[in-house]
Amino acid sequence: MQSVDVTTLTAICDDLQTHWIPAKVEQVYQRDPHTISIALRTLKKRSWLTISWHPQAARLCIGDPPPRTPDTFTFSDQLRHQLNGFALIDLNMISPWERVVNLQFAKRPGDEPVWHLFVEIMGKYSNVILTDNRQQIVTVAHQVNPNQSTVRTVQTGQKYELPPALTGTFPKLDEDQERWQERVSLIPGSLKKQLLNSYRGLSPAVATSMLKEAGFQPQDSTESLTEKDWNQLYKLWQFWLKSLQDKNFEPGYTEQGYTVLGWGIIEQTINIQTLINDYYTKEINQEKFKQLKYQLQQKLKSCLKKLYNKAGNFQEKMEQSSEADEYRQKGDLLMAHSHLWEPGMGSMTLNDFETQKPVKIPLNPEKNAIQNAQLLYKKHQKLKRAKSAVEPLLNEVKEEINYLEQVEDSLQQIDYYHSIEDLQTLQEIKEELIQQNYLPSRTQQTPNSPDESQPYQHTTPSGFEVWIGRNNRQNDRLTFRTAGDYDLWFHTQESAGSHVLLRLEPGAVPNDADLHCAADWAAYYSRARQSEQVPVVYTEPKYVYKPKGAKPGMVIYKRERVLWGKPHKIQCYLKNQG
């Protein structure tokens, strides 16, 4: 993930200065442990200023409105108490090469500042600190005590101190090429490494894009450059410094991330605030997606492993119980031929009543034939009772396995993060597992979007819509809330998978191609995706029921018909779609 460097921060602050100073603070909201949003209103517009001290995505930009969920964080509560109703009258970087921004708040524009909000964008050491006009710390996003840092502490009540000043050589616009070239090439090495080692304030992202704009690779050696090459690189170096001085920026997306210098742009954006907000929102959501998916996969894997073992044990006991009738038959044989018993016998071989085949019956030499028969009858009763006790337990475990396999299949269908819908779908799965007591409930809730995630939507050859549930919450919603009287409901037979609706208007009649298309989608979004052909049932939604006490997504159905779904057709279709 690309970090907000001095160049980007300069561009952000310049844009905020131009369009958002002065502005009234109307609200403060904390959306997660690392991000606050401040509602700003100018004479012409209103929006939210996002301030984040996230270790990998610290930033400052105009962003999205926060979700409509309660804010339970202490830091934002303190900021609200101090800043609500005040005016943001100024913001500036404390130094041209320091990534620290001072936001100043006064009772009204033109007054002296009453509060200073210092936003320190410094990677894992990022922080947000509110002070009064005497630089006394009132509240801080992340307190740093002496045990955590011997260099600089940040605690409520103490005097605010700026981060330790950067040491080293800073880039200067008036430095001539000869001196600049001498400094960069003094020690032979890769161009990128030497540029970064020679000057402070130059970020890896700017160095890389500068070299690529000049036609070099970051790993190219300083010794390989000709005089013409050095001239070209120095021009770009001067262009960068001139852009910082004149506040002349050209934001846009690059193959590796983004730039504000116009180098390597593959998609240009007019507004730097939108660029920064969209980039980091997507990057953070991708990280959340990866972490959450891994967490859910590990939990499901662990639960299913235990259930498979439990089912195996129950199955073994059931198989042992099947021997109950054999003990009863042996007891009957002994009772019928007890007159053949002799004292001290360790076994008797008798012919079976029906097959007349010899059956060897082990005996306890200390007991007579009747007593041995009674022992066999006791074993028969014990195994019979075990079967009646174990059978419902085995069925219960099988139902639980079916449910978790359904959840696991929903999880496997979401391969990568493409949009916020993917993250919402995973969050809904997590909430479901919390409700079903597979995951512990959270004491500190992270605000989520109140919007429900939406199902996949595709079309059949005749143009009918096919809706596909992405998790159990969607499956239940599709089947019991969305489905209309004329729709058709599809699901793989005896295999975990998504609920699929073929949406039909009154009087519409799907042909065989439409039905097979819906069956193919049902087969593709199922646990049997890798099979050549998958049996898929379909019926009217009114014939689909949820048993009392059933877990989410689990249903029974009747009056079904069967089609063979071919998931490889969907794989080919999606591949051709890009």
pLDDT by residue, tens only, the chain of 578 residues = 899 999 999 999 999 999 999 999 999 999 999 999 999 999 999 999 999 999 999 999 999 999 888 998 999 999 999 999 999 999 999 988 999 999 999 999 999 999 999 999 999 999 999 999 999 999 999 999 888 888 889 999 999 999 888 888 999 999 999 999 999 998 899 999 999 999 999 999 999 999 999 999 999 999 999 999 999 999 999 999 999 999 999 999 999 899 999 999 999 887 999 999 999 999 999 999 999 999 999 999 999 999 999 999 988 888 777 677 788 888 899 999 998 989 989 999 999 888 889 989 999 999 999 999 999 889 888 877 877 888 889 999 999 999 999 999 999 888 888 888 899 999 999 999 999 999 988 654 444 444 678 899 999 999 999 999 999 999 999 999 999 999 999 999 988 999 999 999 998 999 999 999 999 999 999 999 999 999 999 999 999 999 988 899 999 999 999 999 999 999 888 877 76
Whole-angstrom Cα distance, residue 178 to residue 157? Answer: 50
In this prediction, residue 34 carries a pLDDT of 94
Query: Which of 197, 429, 423, 160 shows the shortest CA–CA distance to 299?
Result: 429
Look at the domain 6-140 and name its fold: ibrinogen binding protein from staphylococcus aureus fold (2.30.310)
Give the ranges where 495-546 is alpha helix by DSSP (H): 512-524
Query: Which of 463, 531, 464, 465 shows the shortest CA–CA distance to 497?
Result: 531
Question: In sequence order, what are the residues at sequence separation of 6 or more whose Cβ sits closer than 8 angstroms to the Cβ of residue 163?
Answer: 98, 100, 120, 122, 125, 152
Whole-angstrom Cα distance, residue 428 to residue 262? Answer: 40
Structure tokens of 505? 């208007």
- Is the separation of the CB atoms in 496 and 518 below 8 Å? no
CA angle centred on 316, ends 311 and 322, rounded to 5°: 125
The separation between CA 122 and the C-alpha centre of its own chain, rounded to angstroms, equals 25
Whole-angstrom Cα distance, residue 527 to residue 147? Answer: 52
Provide the residue ranges of all domains of the chain, joining segments of one domain with +.
Answer: 6-140, 177-268, 319-390, 456-577
321 — phi, psi (to 5°)? -65, -25
Structure tokens of 389? 């006790």
In this prediction, residue 444 carries a pLDDT of 46
CATH number of 177-268: 1.10.8
Q: Which segments of 514-560 are extended strands (E)?
A: 534-539, 544-545, 556-557
Which amino acid does the sequence have at 450? P
Whole-angstrom Cα distance, residue 145 to residue 157? Answer: 12
Whole-angstrom Cα distance, residue 140 to residue 125? Answer: 13
Sign of CA dihedral 59, 65, 68, 73: positive
Whole-angstrom Cα distance, residue 380 to residue 464? Answer: 60
Which amino acid does the sequence have at 196? L
480 — phi, psi (to 5°)? -110, -10
Q: Is 177-268 the same fold as 6-140?
A: no
Q: Give the global pTM.
A: 0.78
Count other Cβ atoms within 10 Å, centred on residue 83: 21
Give pairs for 181-186: CB < 8 Å, separation 24+.
181/230, 181/234, 184/222, 185/222, 185/223, 185/225
In this prediction, residue 385 carries a pLDDT of 80
Peptide bond into 22 cis (omega under 30): yes
Whole-angstrom Cα distance, residue 40 to residue 77? Answer: 17
Read off the DSSP letter of residue 117: E
Query: Which of 331, 330, 326, 317 shows the shortest CA–CA distance to 385?
Result: 317
Residue 459 to residues 427, 518, 519, 567, Cα–Cα distance (Å): 27, 9, 12, 16
DSSP, collapsed to helix, strand or coil, labels residue 429 as helix
Residue with tokens 């894997």: 301
Whole-angstrom Cα distance, residue 72 to residue 438? Answer: 25
DSSP, collapsed to helix, strand or coil, labels residue 341 as coil
DSSP, collapsed to helix, strand or coil, labels residue 93 as strand
In this prediction, residue 442 carries a pLDDT of 65
511 — phi, psi (to 5°)? -90, 180
